[in-house]
Amino acid sequence: MSVDISAEPLLDLIPYGEIDPLALSVLAANLQAVLGLPTRVRPDRPLPEDSFIPVRYQYDAVKIVGSLDRERDGARFRMGVIQRDLCIPILTYVYGESQLGGRAAVISLHRLHHIDRQVTFERGAKIAIHEAGHLLGLEHCREPGCLMRFSKQLEQLDLLPMRFCSACEYEIARLLKRAVQNRY
């Protein structure tokens, strides 16, 4: 089978509100390079006000993921990117949220901020790749040097190299092949 994967994006990055264009390019480049997921950046949209939780002053990640999942057009996987703080009903915050083996995810750059923009971008890329791994169907991994490891704190995230362990890498190759075959 020969499929030209560069032609058809498998993942749409969807900016909500104003996002640094350079951040989006870094995310897309890393998703493509580390995960091998052809990615395109879509035009930005207004902040999803229906997902805003006034008492918590945060956005509901589950709601955003739900609405992205229901959209008919677009690539097989879609990932929202937002500069505001995200949470889910039971947790005080999340860096990102995704459907395991599903279509939609969202990540927030809010808590990833660092004085050095490069560090912020790198953190964002790690979260984006991690959530995209969930979209492909990967669960958390316990290898200390693997992007599918759940990072309890930013310090842990920073220590992670930009790569998967060999078991996850093997699994991704398999799942990606399947995703390419069922891209529509």
Partner 1 sequence: MARSMHIMVVDDEETICLALSAWLTKEGYSVETAASGQEALARMAEKKSDLYLVDFKMPGMDGLQLLAEIRARQPDAALIMITAHGSIGSAVEAMKRGAIDYLCKPFDPEELSLIMERVEAARAIQQAEAPVADHYAGTSQLSWGGIVGQSEALRVVLNEIEEVAPTNASVLITGETGTGKDLLALAIHMRSEHAHGPFVAINCGAQSETLLESELFGHEQGAFTGALKARRGRLEMANGGTLFLDEIGEISPKMQVNLLRVLEEKKFCRLGGNQPIDIDFRLVSATHRDLRQLLREEQFREDFFYRINVLTIHIPPLRERLEDVPVLADFFLQKYAQETGKPVEGLTPRAVEILMGYNWPGNVRELRNVIERVVVIARGRMIGAEELRFLKTYDDSCRSAPATLREAEILHLQGALEACDWNVTRAAKMLDIDRVTLTRKMKRFNLKRP
Q: Which residues are catalytic?
A: 131
Pick one of 23, 35, 87, 168: the residue that binds Zn ion (CB under 5 A).
168
Pick one of 7, 55, 90, 115: the residue that binds partner 1 (CB under 8 A).
90
From the number of C-beta atoms within 10 Å of its C-beta (0-12, 13-18, 19+), residue 4 rates as exposed
141 binds Zn ion (CB under 5 A): yes
Q: What is the pattern of x (binds partner 1, CB under 8 A) and - over residues 23-62?
A: ---------------------------------------x
From the number of C-beta atoms within 10 Å of its C-beta (0-12, 13-18, 19+), residue 131 rates as buried
Listing DSSP states for 95-119 in one string gives SEEE-TTSSEEEEE-GGG--SSHHH
Least distance (Å) between residue 93 CB and partner 1? 7
Least distance (Å) between residue 42 CB and partner 1? 25
- Candidates 9, 61, 64; CA nearest to 31 is 9
Residue number, 7 or 90, with CB nearest to partner 1: 90
**What are φ and ψ of residue 68, in 5° steps?**
-65, -35
Cβ–Cβ < 8 Å for 98, 150: no
Contacts with partner 1 by CB under 8 A lie at 62, 87-94, 100, 134, 139-142, 145, 150, 152-153, 155, 159, 161, 163, 165-167, 170
